[in-house]
A = this chain, B = another copy of it.
Amino acid sequence: MTTRYALLLEYDGRGFVGWQRQLNGLSIQEVLEAAASNLADGAPVAAAIAGRTDAGVHAEGQVAMIALPKDLPPHRVAQALNFHMKPYPVVVQSACVAPADWHPRFDALRRRYRYVILNRSARPALETGRVWHVPHALEASAMAEGAKHLVGRHDFTSFRAASCQAKSPVRTLDRLDVRRDGMHIIIEAEARSFLHHQVRNMVGTLKLVGDGIWEPIRVARALQAHSRAAAGPTAPPDGLTFISVDYDPPLFPRAG
């Protein structure tokens, strides 16, 4: 008998090679699967994920799935996984029995990412590893104007990593908001799915607009060029956090 569990994860991406197992370092997948193996009498357990994250990228509301060869109450699964993951900055916030045929990646209806720029001359002391530090003043309103050109259904080839394995470069970006909150510039992106590095490449491009190096309209031209070389550089992973993912019906109640 096998029971499939959906897990709401939070993790700090610093020190990890990313979600996915790699030969060159510790992954979040490895930490979770090793913990889950303890609940399966040592048998290997494979975890699936809603959205893979790169090295240094964080998650507040990532969703994973594991199958265990026994029927434990979900809150016991969460407690036991958290016990075994204790040395690492990875926790299960909540667990539930997964619906039949549900898959965290293929059934995701909408994903949300947040990117935070610390825009002041002094480096971060409290937010090290959690923000992109840009010491010179950025024009957030120009960045917001540039961002509008990316919203909608487009071929995002210009914002896609060379390593991206998606079959199509076409995605529908539902939201890309840029706002200033004191010393922070906060960028929120929402779509059914994203290409590899899409958010970081969009942020790296909008930063050129914030610098005044690009006019906002040049973002539209970069998009239309369908060439990675036409867009800006990839923003560092530190500022990026996977916020949440939606399913229908919802799996986890809203935080709180």
Contact = CB atoms under 8 A, between A and B. Distances in A.
Contacts of A126: 10-12, 58, 60, 89, 130
A78 B128 contact: no
A121 interface: yes
Task: Give how many copies assemble into the complex.
Answer: 2
Interface stretch (A90-98, A143-151, A191-199, A206-214): A90-98
Nearest to A8: B122
Tell me which of A58, A90, A183 has the highest count of chain B C-beta atoms within 10 A of its own C-beta.
A183
Given A11-B126, A90-B125, 7 more contacts: A10-B125, A58-B126, A86-B123, A91-B122, A93-B120, A180-B256, A182-B255
A92 to B, nearest CB: 6
A82 interface: yes
A240 to B, nearest CB: 13
B182 A122 contact: no
Question: Nearest 7 pairs between A and B by C-beta?
Answer: A182-B256, A91-B122, A182-B255, A10-B125, A89-B125, A91-B125, A93-B122
Contacts of A123: 82, 86, 91
Interface in A1-26: 10-12
Interface residues of A, number: 32
A124 interface: yes
A234 to B, nearest CB: 23
8 contacts: A10-B126, A12-B128, A58-B126, A60-B126, A78-B121, A89-B125, A91-B124, A183-B255
A157 to B, nearest CB: 33
Interface string A106-141: 000000000000001111111010100000000000
Contacts of A120: 93
B11 A92 contact: no
